[in-house]
Structure 1
Amino acid sequence: MNNIKKLRENKKLTLMELSKEVQIPNNTLSQYENEKRKPKLETWQALADFFGVSVPYLQGAYSKDEINKKVIASYNEYFEAYNIKKLFLIVQPLNGWTIEDYLIAVGAVPFDTPKTHFLINKDQMEDYDFWKKNLEPIYKNVAVKWLLEKPGINATKEDVLKAVNSAMNTVIAYSSSTTVSRNLGADEIIHFDYSSIAENQFMHKRYNFLDMHEWNDDEELPDGSHQLIPFYDFNHSHPLDGEIYMRDEIK
């Protein structure tokens, strides 16, 4: 479905008022809105210029603003579910952990933040400009580009979040390991324009930061066997040497 009616109503214009503005008969505009008639390319462009949007968006593609708001809503849902201890009820293609790892990868959140979840504060959560700026790299991903450029795909909310999840995981992969940049090669990194993300390696640094603050408890199970229970202590660190460190070794 195209977005002509939505944009017209957002501007609080009647069909007659829009007709006068764009010099198109109101009955013709009604047919356009109800997709009983297709505008010519020059008419699409004239309407897009009037509303200040792209032609694909006018024709029914998603806008960055719409996608950004779906990501924000997804993160807020994760935040609220965690607070009421009902994360198990969240079943969606994009989860809060992926969003937070992505924000670390693009440098929006310091890799050495001494927390394991809810890495952004309330002000950042409510700051649309924060999200708008830091979500920009996902729009280099082919799947997300399609949402912006292909009005005929009729993507659902789930489709949008799946595309964003794929894009975010690509960014996280670039940031996680130098092997990604070595395997893909310089030309491909430049093509995706993720070179700075690959160079900064914030997620790789994040994993190291978590590893050096991970300790373990030795828990005895009812059958007499033992199980290591990991936990994080951000006030104490240990060497990154691949060894397992226990609580009683904390100094």
Structure 2
Amino acid sequence: MTGLSLTDFSVTIGRQKVLRIDRLDLPAVGLVGVVGPNGAGKSTLLKALAGVLPHRGVKTLGTGWPAPRQIGFMPQDFMVRAALSVTECVLLGRRERLGWRITPQDHAEVERALEAFGLGALATQRMDNLSGGQQQLVLLAQRLLRSPRLLILDEPTSALDLHRQIEVLTHLKATRRHDILVITALHDLTLAGRFADRLVMIENGRLRAVGPPAEVLTRTILDPVYSISSECLSDREGSPVIVPHRVASLPIRG
């Protein structure tokens, strides 16, 4: 199965080229984490892949590029303010395939999607009455109901507590069994190192590093990119744990 490839891929806003990737190759399935400092270009990359931002260059996944209905995209800090129920919101994930009536199978699949994130009790609740974290989980269930070939998520765990973050990332990692490629921006480097199959690090709109987490999350790469002094440890499963001790440019005063 051929993976995702970008060649001479760039995004220009106004007269400024805000993203430029000469070449990037990723696996066909699995969980890819996009990391980097604020303003580095992570969201720009994800929006371009999702077709939200115009771009130049070549992008392929397999023998071409998935149709819009095969791509699930969840932007950062997106909130639903409509008076939809949770069930209705999740059903919109397959709006292209819904007929004049919603079948028992549709309802069963929505129920399974909600239960996967522990949301079954909220099925009849209104979206605009939910917390930001609950909305985030519902919208993720909605995207997964599409059975996408490519799932693009911008900070999908930003409003979640630690338990929910681990639950969501465990679920996303398991999607490889369904031939889904998940590309997600993550701020927590330790969680990215634990769950991602590959990491893509962006710095100032350019590709700084790509590879397995243990090869990307090193002091040699992290310290200059984030302007920190870091310590890179390993957890009990051998995944990298990042400990930032101080801002590298500021001396410690005793």
**Structure richer in strand, relative to its length:** 2
What TM-score do you get using the length of structure 2 for normalisation? Answer: 0.22
What TM-score do you get using the length of structure 1 for normalisation? Answer: 0.22
**Structure richer in helix, relative to its length:** 1
Bigger-Rg structure (1/2): 1
**Which gives a bigger RCO, structure 1 or 2 (Cα 8 Å, sep 6+)?**
2
